[in-house]
Amino acid sequence: MCGIIGYYGQHPASKILIDGLKRLEYRGYDSSGLCLVEDNKLVCYKQAGPVTYLEGAIAHQDLKGHIGIAHTRWATHGAPNEINAHPHFDCHHQIAIVHNGIIENYQALKQLLSSEGHVFTSETDSEVLAHLIEKFYTGSLEEAVIKALALIEGSYGLVALHVNENKLVAARRSSPLVIGIGQGETFIASDVPAILNHTKDVVYLEDGDLAIIDEGGYQIKNLAGEPLDRRVEEVKLNIDQIEKKGYKHFMLKEIFEQPQSLVNVLAGRITNNQIKLSLNWHREAIERIIIAACGTSWHSALIGKYLLEEIVGLPVEVDYASEFRYRHPLVNNHDLFIAISQSGETADTLAALREAKNHGAQSLGIVNVVGSTVAREVDSGIYLHAGPEIGVASTKAFTAQITALLLLAFYWRQEMGYKIDESILSELRHLPAVVEKTLKANGQVIELARRFMNFEHFLYLGRGLNFPVALEGALKLKEISYIHAEGYPAAEIKHGPIALIDDNMPVVVLATKNDLSDKILSNIQEIKARGGQVIAIVDQDYEVVKKLADYLISVPPVHVWFSPVINVIPLQLLAYYIADAKGLDVDKPRNLAKSVTVE
């Protein structure tokens, strides 16, 4: 979950490293640090807090080193402070490492190394790597890294340097690393945005890869030291896609990018009233669908369950990816396993995917990041092409995932020999325009955000396809506003939550027209009878709800299958404007990081 960047080239490394860390800060912002080779010694700076603190600490230093590594941290082992910040060092301050991942057996290794005289200075698991490399170092950093990693249990994206060797050595297991190829310079990073300002030619490392970066460029080997050939790819992102472009926060920018992100999802996939997907699957063999995901992606998976069961007619199970493999799932070759992940690097989702494949399931990925591990390991995939999502709280990826699931459901139905109604396909084509219209009505949300910003609890209710939207709305409020919020199926409030309702518990009800509208009306009446304040999301022509609710947010009417994409927009905006009104750092919510690459 941490951010890593390394540089070897002709230019002073410090500015390149700092700029790279700024573009990686969504991966962690508890602390940061960098290390350069300067005049035959290692020069290191660390700071607790955001990368700007580190930038300030080196602002007046004359740093000229052309080789360096840097790191921005999301704390797992040890408090977020300067001592625990990376890089970490060996006993003699000759070896420096930056690490993303978790060393599961670090306590046993630390005890062994301490018994051999190694002195540890931090609380982190990562420091074990520096001392292990020191233990095995006899003049070759490459060989020492290989021997050290042979003892490691867990995950790592690792970059190491030695003061006496003119190179960087990197290795990957279950934590992403990408090499950037420039003119007379080479980069290594945990994510493409860190290096996009310098090159678009990249090589994605795979699990078990070892990379050596030196004056000759780069080499990739396996952990037996044997050369490997990895394809050079051109990144399609542009630098302006990872800039705020006048918006106060990335999250707000990404909310307002959703019309374009949906255009990108749909592009080339509806032609002559036919859904076009390229899937490598044996459709006739599939008897059950299993979807696994985490966080916001899990909410889109729940929506996918409703869509696929209704449109395709097969049973669908949805699992938290973090729980899937631990319940010893009964999976076989008649199952299709769908992994949903914005980053394509979520550790739990990857582990669930591998578990399902080991049991013979066909696999399909719905991911945003091209070249990610999920994308490489599935049998088939649907790329979202939503563009980079920098804000920690996911927005445009969620609506893109729902749209991809709609495409999959319609395509599957079509492959079964049924024709998709032209009115449905027309509405799908126009979905980006409807999202655009929904966003233009954000003024009403801003007013409500000011009114409710100081409340401490919220309840979100929905039925059917919009129950997962209620979950997502509550999650967004929790993530960035630090307000306690819960999402529930509306009928379930009578089984406990109704006891909480009073005039201090605003209740957000997804009340757009559907087959369950009468039941939603009954739920609203139950809330009002107990003094609750109701904020209703309504279709513009839904007059009945308007007579009952205290506050209204109007959205354009759409077919129920498309309603989650539309109805979540005001919930995203409500969470954003409440957090902003409270003066919170929307893009860097406390304790969270964008890509959860550790278990």
The beta-strand segments (E) located in 360-424 are 362-367, 380-383
Active-site choice (2, 35, 44, 294): 2
Q: Is the dihedral of CA 514, 519, 520, 522 positive or negative?
A: positive
Active site residue 594: yes
To 10 degrees, what angle do helices 396-415 and 563-581 make? 170
Catalytic residue among 22, 253, 305, 594: 594
Question: In angstroms, rounded to a whole number, what is the distance separating the alpha carbons of residues 396 and 45?
Answer: 36
The three-class DSSP label of residue 488 is strand
CA dist 440 and 444 (Å) reads 10
- Helices (DSSP H) in 25-61: which residue ranges? 51-58
Half-sphere exposure of 303 (CA within 13 A, CB side): 34
**d(C-alpha 71, C-alpha 562), whole Å:** 41
Judge whether 167 counts as a catalytic residue.
no
Chain mean position to CA 525: 38
Helix, strand, coil distribution of the chain in percent, nearest 5: 40, 25, 40
DSSP 154: B
- Rounded Cα distance between 511 and 209, Å, is 51
Residue 150 is given by DSSP the state T
Task: Give CA 288 to chain center in angstroms.
Answer: 27
Q: What are the two backbone dihedrals, phi and then psi, of residue 180, each rounded to the nearest 5 degrees? A: -110, 130
Task: Please give the structure tokens belonging to residue 267.
Answer: 């592009």
Which secondary structure element, helix H or strand E, spans residue 286, and what is its range?
none
Q: Which residues are catalytic?
A: 2, 594
